[in-house]
Chain A
């Protein structure tokens, strides 16, 4: 990963992200058919689900980068883990905000302590704790090692979130793609939204990673300046 931002690649990536986001908005709000029971409210689904999958992808990246750091002890893996955790929290916050907005008119409550909702909230809090924990450890090597261990343990909640609606009775809808509950005419909107969020993830990861590399450079200069 090049550490200079913005490069030509970043400009292309930024343009691709903006274009795919515009296409996703069009598909979700205009092109996708109106759902029979929930009406237009169901259109929240496309960005809600895409944000959830992207958040999980970011946490999986944090997990992989944390493992890589513990094996290789290379600071760049720690930078990637931190970037992925922060971005994952942002995406999961989107899910936790849009979920209740969707739930209120459909379930008549903003929030319920169902397995899917509770495990998602716990997951977001775990990674928020990961980010907080880093603030309290000054030694960079120790900070990276402790955070990597924490990141690996925190990731254990991810399968729990994913499988919660399969393992337990839940008010949250069952996995629509697997059960065939999503009409074929609605699938393009979901796939395009998902792709747009993946582009956004890569774009944000690059920016956040470059920020951390710049911080490393600053620390190096501070050491030189004494």
Chain B
């Protein structure tokens, strides 16, 4: 019953507030009347009676306010009032409101977007049941790769994993409905789907018995998205036969929606057992311990700890090293988080995202500092209003709350905008295919949790800049303020907003420095000597094994292709190789000196990149021959093995470039004569140190993987069509996976640095924008407050220089000190950048000069307006006006 009464009161207070208020007003007035009447009855003269009554009552408005405060829902009611008032205030100064909301929206959006990516790539585990038990195994140092026999040994001799599997990415030539297209998938070992632990959407997944001996089965599982897009969501798909690399495979199942393999940034569409490796790849790595090109995934048994796992891995690795010293010497395995190409990209990605998150935080802080100083300035302008409200019975807390509500309205509006922006950006990112032939895809679709994130950030931001004017409110003395009007600003002490401006400029300076450092790095990377020239060259890639070519047939095909393409008019040079530098699938092998007799890895001189090339490839690639000769088709399996090496190779082995005619040995102990020297280049990633590389005649070791390089001055589109025509004329079944300008296909190499530059550039621009807005805002505020004083000075004969230093001297000190601190911070932070951005150095005088110049320019730009206003002020008019 009492609850009911209370609810009724609440509803009445909220919805009939006008009537309730009128009632209260009448009641208090009636009370006053009765007090007066009482006093008159006691014999006071009427005026005295009224005065005494008023004193006893203590102010009609105050009493009413006290009653209102004690009502049920008073808090809610006044909050609503504050809210309405805040909206009114913002409508009254739409310019301020729009700027504030926009600044916040950008700041919050930056954070939400980066957080969304961070969540997708780092925080969220793989989308499989009990993902916390799924890990990857990788060598303690070096890349993420393991070999098939190693994983088989771990699988068969451990007690800590419930399942162990390895897999290799493959692009398959999938023939369905008479068309062959390249489709990315994986060869997976028998326990792969036990590790993953998902339930099939249709049919069954791959089992151990599909993979227990070479050629065990010819079955395939396709992904849900491939089922949708390539097979028209055919409900009778299970049991259908398709051809993969010309071999018939039976589709036995479809994975559930959302499963895209065990990599976070790749979409795999087809899964086949490793048992058919021999027929798929053209060569067989199932039994090779030295072919470390597989990723592993394992599922830990329940209750097993990481320490137990590591102990057992150490035992197994030690045993393997003893058993197979030639291949496994020094083997050491460790557990790592799965999903980022094993954990290969995990470190850099986590580092980069943490750095960007930091920058996003800085930008948001700067935005808050900016809004904080705007708010503080506005509050100073509203001193009189605040004083009047206090005089009318409002408490300081109530006024503060009203200001806070105002900042919340702004920050929530900003947060809502930010949500929209982030949503668009993340959706765009999720549907974007990076410029690569790899099946890269960012699974960063916006999650509802991001709304919560945006809301939390907005509230935090709102509080941060909302409480800035706190001190101003609490020291307001209504009596003084109303009497003296707005205090003169001349000679005021350093206020919070000054500090805020300096801090904000320092923060913005950090983002600007970061942007310039990465821009400079990008510029350097773009003009870097790659050791080959991707300009005016076309690259065609395909794998003949996908059209069932092996050995001599592949060799024959390639030579025919070379001849036909060289006859196309406009072709300046043409050649082919098994793979090209920076393509991502370059191989490394151990190099031994000619005197070696012990071919264990630890005895190798160094590791070098391997390429198998045809005659003419070097010319087509734009790699000049420094000494010696090119490879030739007369180098065959029957003639002595030869190689062309780069200068780094020669220097490491012989400490001189003069290496033509000398010998080295490979891991099989075969002596190879060096017949040519080429300059150094980049082979795996742009940021690598000079690496050794060797180029072998492809005629001595046939490869089905083909990268045809054509150098031409002719129009790209014509040439692309001509080359495609030649390939298809030779064999229609060859699935071309890439054909286009080499530059475009190199895009992946430049991708990280471009992403970094774009991200940091955006932050830099935003930072700059903020600092301009902040400086301009405070400068014009200062000037407008002091215009009267300044014009008196002008009238009394002050010079322009004196006026400027009086008006904006402090601003300049703030600008200079903020910039200096920011520049130092930026330089310190930029060291972190050089990890991602190749050749980025903050000590670069060019960068320092550019940052300083930019700050100087924007600084002067933003105070230029106010300066003009001061200098052109006409004292006579001004003094008359006020």
Question: Is chain B found bound to chain A in the same assembly?
Answer: no
Residues of chain A touching chain B, judged by Cβ–Cβ distance below 8 Å, are none
B residues sitting closer than 8 Å to A (CB atoms) are none
